[in-house]
Amino acid sequence: MQCHCRLPSRHSLHGQRVFQPASQRPQRLKAARPQAVAVSQVPTSLSTSRVWEAAYEQLQMEKGVCNLIQKYTPEAVRERALSSPDSTFQILSRAGTMTTVMGRFFLGLVWDRVTGQADTPGRVQYRAAQLREALTWLGPSFVKAGQVLASRPDIVREDYMNELCTLQDDVPSFPDDQAFGILQEELGRPIAEVFSSISERPIAAASLGQVYKAVLRETGQEVAVKVQRPGVEPIIFRDLFIFRALARLVNSTSKKKLGCNAQLIVDEFGEKLLEELDYLQEARNIQDFYRNFSNDPKVKIPWVRRDLSGPRVLTMEWIDGIRCTDPAAIRASGMDVAEFIRCGVVTGLRQLLEFGLFHGDPHPGNIFAMPDGRIAYVDFGNVAELSQTNKQTLIDAIVHAVNEDYEGMAEDFIKLGFLAPGTDVTPIAPALQEIWQDSMGRSLADFNFRTVTSKFNDLVYQYPIRIPERYSLVIRALLTQEGICLTLSPEFHFLEVAYPYVARRLLTAEDPILRERLFQVLFQNGKFQWKRAEKLLGLAKEGSGGLDITSTVRDAVKVVLLDDKLRMQLVNAFTEDNKLHVAEVRSILNEVQGEINTQQLVRQTLGDLPALSRQFMLSWSDKILSS
């Protein structure tokens, strides 16, 4: 089962001129969308709690990842929000505050339209600042929502987005005595016993907490100590309860008019928010990233002290580098900026396609350039996970893009949850083709993610496409990363870095599934693509560190010996059009010259001969018996 909704979009937010005007949206085509089942259509015999859980169950089934440590459920939010005797009064009071603050802002937008000031630069800047201040005043839940919008140029107009970006780094701190009280309570002993020194003021303040710099007494190591804002958890549970209650009220309308499940939108947002609220979960995220990149000499992941951390306190290694918020300092440091950029892009792709665990908030303040040229990450509260199936489907989508198989790409959209099962992809495939070809232009240098996002955004409103939460984070991460790279080097082109990595991974990975994808790239309509093979090898060699395809050649030999169909395809490729393709073979051999360890290949092939002979004989006997 998959759920059919989208994250909050400009359809559901009607602030005049903050979001893209409705008049600019293409007419949505409704014929392709299967009928979604609204929560309001659930049989009335179900209990209230069961209705609350329905959309959330859809979310968990769609993710395809089993999370044994789950803090968010709709019922848990309901219980926490209603846990105190005066909870009803607190909820009503909070809802009234939200309505007053945001109502004042939206009434201001209406007044601007009436008075003809809606697009006046000075007025727009004033309203953008007003929105930022309103979100800040309403607290962490709204600040996090603003931070999400600040990374979504497809939802919010640029001038508002730029103002909301200040929410990333310009959040007021809370009193230090409260922070030190929480720290001592979580440590279970005096602060002086653990730290020989700690900064009197926070180094940075965020929506959920603030960071101090300290020195461990036992080792002398510098650490960053993150302390959660006092009383933030009850407020967030209360806000999520209100959000979900409102979503339930409008769910039938949102499904009918907009094709989205409003409750699921809240579930996706709430689940990530509560994950960020749990600093022990962040410590586990850091440890996972640390293991994933432990053998990568170009990536720095800080270590974490679990024994000095708790649900409200996190103690991790202090990163001493240059934040990517200061590109001039990075360029002036003398490091190889091009290599640093390449490292950042490859690191991001490895998170997505190899590990399936990626940093969901890689804004410039969370990425550092180390003095030795390494890239370092901090703030692992917002981390998303992709299942093995989702990773494979992403790779399929890349293969289909390379092969210009747009119907296959549209089918991938169904598997990834962008389209509902059963959706007719016939009208969607040509639209994807137009977007991809227009974005690619004449070369890789013409491609950029912001252009693709803008074009894809129009597609969302023409067809029943939704953006699952985890892929919203993927898009956000790629857009942010591309923006960082462009500030460091205006001549940067993402695909010129990403394609070599993907090519190397297809050619060198020992994963049988990736081997299958490689053959899909090299064969199209049963024909071997000589130019594509040569281009793939050329792209792969552009990456650093050398290209060893010995294992790939070894596997190819095994497959050719055992697969009659593939063997005939290769023979046909060599003799296609009634001629021997000697020049093409020579060109391929020139590309791989020096990239194959001949001695290792011979040794491994000889070692495989007994097993290969047995498999060959079994295959031969099966054919004899079947005939």
Q: Which residues are catalytic?
A: 361
Q: What is the DSSP letter of 34?
A: P
Spell 2-20 as b/e; 16+ CB within 10 A means b: bbbbbbbbbbbeebbbbbb
Torsion of CA 145, 151, 155, 159, to 10 degrees: 100
Q: Whose structure tokens read 């190889």?
A: 336
Please give the C-alpha separations between residue 573 and each of 147, 363, 384, 503, 532, in angstroms, as whole numbers. Answer: 53, 47, 43, 21, 13
Spell 285-309 as b/e; 16+ CB within 10 A means b: bbebbbebbeeeebbbbbebbeebb
Phi and psi angles of residue 360, each rounded to the nearest 5 degrees, phi first: -90, -5
Q: Is the dihedral of CA 347, 389, 553, 565 positive or negative?
A: negative
**Within 492-594, where are the H helices?**
494-508, 512-522, 530-542, 550-562, 564-574, 582-592
Q: Give the strand pairing for 322-323 and 367-369.
A: antiparallel
The answer to whether 246 and 12 are in contact (CB under 8 A) is: no
Please give the C-alpha separations between residue 140 and each of 75, 171, 276, 482, 568, in angstroms, as whole numbers. Answer: 21, 10, 11, 27, 63
Q: Whose structure tokens read 């007025």?
A: 123
Please enumerate in sequence order all residues whose Cβ is within 8 A of that of 268, keeping only pairs 6 or more positions apart, or say none: 7, 59, 468, 469
The gap between the terminal CA atoms of the chain, to the nearest Å, is 42
Residue type (1 letter), 485: C
CB atoms within 10 A of CB 364: 20
Residue 198 tokens, joined: 């700690």
* Closest by CA position to 225, among listed 206, 203, 208: 203
Gap between the Cα atoms of 445 and 364, Å rounded: 23
Spell 588-608 as b/e; 16+ CB within 10 A means b: eeebbeebbeeeebeebeeeb
Gap between the Cα atoms of 586 and 354, Å rounded: 33
